């Protein structure tokens, strides 16, 4: 349990129109993958735009403990001296993945087919999150696990000395599970195949192909996607330019839509079709969002996004869209509270096992600031009034970066300030969030009167 004295209460006050051009930090998902796949390549991989948040830095440190040289060359620029597929070393210390579920699940897959034993752990939040979803398929490949009750961290991972390739159908849509299996398949002989009934973000497939892996992707008759990876390739070092994270861009995007008089541009954002469910939804709600200067880098589509203040209306968001925007529901719920009419969001069971129980945290926070919201199973229903909310707080963030940022954005469009109890977790994914928002004209900062109404 974190001591209250260590908390960092923050406050956001009603703001005038937001204006300006900004860049958000590098994509967290791609940053993790660039480091790990770069570690499996032969030669030196240069990564530009790497997210220097705590989650990604934990991945970099874990790789160092596995014998990989990861060197910071400049701000957000790193060099990874790859050891080649199958050449990770017995770790020199515990692999502490901090608050990163992505980092932990992908790293476990990476080491699962190496002949080594590793102790993997994380912070209190990460140790409450389910890992059985990767333990089960990796065990089929020959990896052994000694985990806490429910398959949770901390756990001991003993890699397979004679790994077995598998064909695995995902029981739930999860890019993390898919990626963990594919990374394990790198050091398994033969072909490892993952079948996903619903498409999830394909950053791992694009990055593996960029480094020279052999992937065969087909569509089954039932619509499922079949990803087949030929194991034990010789990956070659590559240059990677990490695009801006669309999940981070989401906060400035919604802020510009709901604060009257706003007009901003976010440069160099990743617009992978499997990551832009939020933009699609906000456009359906009446949001003025345009993609300009579209281009491609290392297989990833990139664009500049212009957002102008808009009158939003409620919509119904289908469950099948959830994989493309699962991290954006906290900020979408804020947009829905500012919209006119009811927004219904289906298929949100995965929010129960994020950094916090995000579904409950969203509902509690919205009620704190005067919104009408309710849950119905894995569906979230927000009744927007098309008018500014009252504000209030403090909103409990549960050390969840996305809950903290979402409600700080809400405060910009309320009639009164919104307080959150702790903003420290923001650094895990978006270092400099408050400064960047201030540059646009937002009144966000540390709360000198925590708990005040």
Which residues carry out catalysis? 327
Q: Are 337 and 382 in contact (CB under 8 A)?
A: yes
Give me the sign of the Cα torsion angle 77, 404, 409, 270.
positive
Q: What angle do CA 306, 308, 309 make, to 5 degrees?
A: 155
Handedness of CA 26, 27, 29, 35 (dihedral sign): negative
Which tokens sit at 156?
Answer: 């001991």
**Six token digits for residue 359:** 């579904």
- What strands, in cross-sheet order, belong to the sheet with 95-96? 95-96, 117-121, 152-158, 144-148
Closest to 346 (Cα-Cα) out of 359, 360, 364: 359
Helix axis angle, 28-40 relative to 175-185, nearest 10°? 10
Residue 161, Cα to own-chain centre: how many angstroms? 32
CB 98 within 8 A of CB 129: no
Cα dihedral angle (394, 395, 396, 397), rounded to 10 degrees? Answer: -120
Cα distances from 202 to residues 118, 205, 354, 394, in angstroms, run: 27, 5, 20, 37
Give the other-Cβ count within 10 Å of 179's Cβ.
29
Residues 428 and 314: their CA atoms lie apart, in Å, by 31
407: number of Cβ within 10 Å: 33
- Asked if residue 225 lies in contact with residue 195, where contact means CB atoms within 8 angstroms, the answer is yes
SS3 25: coil
């Amino acid at each position: 349990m974190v001591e209250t004295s260590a908390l960092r209460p923050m406050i956001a006050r009603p703001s005038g129109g937001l204006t300006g051009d900004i860049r958000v930090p590098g994509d967290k998902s791609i940053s993790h993958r660039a480091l790990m796949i770069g570690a499996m390549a032969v030669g030196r991989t240069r990564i530009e735009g790497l997210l220097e948040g705590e989650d990604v830095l934990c991945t970099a440190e874990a790789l160092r403990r596995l014998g990989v040289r990861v060197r910071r060359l400049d701000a957000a620029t790193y060099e990874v001296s790859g050891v080649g597929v199958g050449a990770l070393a017995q770790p020199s210390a515990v692999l502490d993945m901090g608050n990163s579920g992505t980092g932990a699940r992908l790293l476990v897959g990476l080491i699962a087919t190496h002949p080594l034993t590793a102790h993997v752990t994380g912070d209190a939040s990460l140790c409450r999150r389910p890992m059985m979803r990767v333990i089960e398929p990796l065990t089929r490949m020959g990896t052994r696990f000694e985990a806490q009750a429910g398959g949770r961290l901390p756990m001991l991972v003993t890699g397979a000395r004679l790994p077995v390739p598998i064909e695995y159908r995902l029981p739930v849509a999860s890019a993390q599970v898919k990626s963990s299996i594919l990374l394990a398949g790198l050091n398994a002989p033969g072909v490892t195949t993952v079948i996903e009934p619903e498409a999830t973000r394909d950053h791992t497939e694009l990055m593996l192909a960029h480094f020279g892996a052999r992937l065969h992707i087909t569509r089954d008759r039932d619509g499922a996607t079949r990803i087949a990876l030929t194991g034990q390739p010789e990956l070659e070092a590559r240059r990677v330019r990490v695009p801006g994270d669309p999940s981070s861009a989401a906060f400035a995007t919604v802020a510009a839509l709901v604060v009257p008089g706003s007009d901003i541009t976010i440069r160099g954002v990743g617009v992978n079709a499997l990551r832009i469910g939020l933009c699609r939804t906000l456009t359906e709600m009446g949001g003025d969002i345009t993609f300009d200067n579209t281009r491609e880098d290392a297989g990833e589509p990139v664009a500049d996004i212009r957002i102008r203040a808009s009158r939003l209306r409620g919509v119904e968001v289908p469950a099948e869209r959830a994989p493309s925007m699962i991290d954006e529901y906290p900020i979408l719920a804020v947009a829905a509270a500012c919209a006119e009419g009811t927004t219904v969001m289906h298929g949100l069971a995965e929010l129960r096992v994020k950094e916090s129980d995000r579904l409950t945290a969203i509902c509690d926070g919205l009620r704190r600031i005067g919104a009408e919201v309710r849950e119905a199973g894995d569906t979230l229903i927000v009744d927007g009034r098309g008018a500014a909310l009252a504000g209030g707080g403090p909103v409990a963030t549960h050390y969840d970066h996305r809950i903290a940022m979402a409600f700080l954005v809400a405060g910009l469009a309320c009639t009164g300030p919104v307080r959150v109890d702790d903003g420290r977790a923001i650094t895990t994914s978006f270092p400099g969030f408050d400064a960047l928002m201030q540059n646009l004209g937002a009144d966000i900062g540390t709360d000198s009167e925590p708990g005040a109404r």
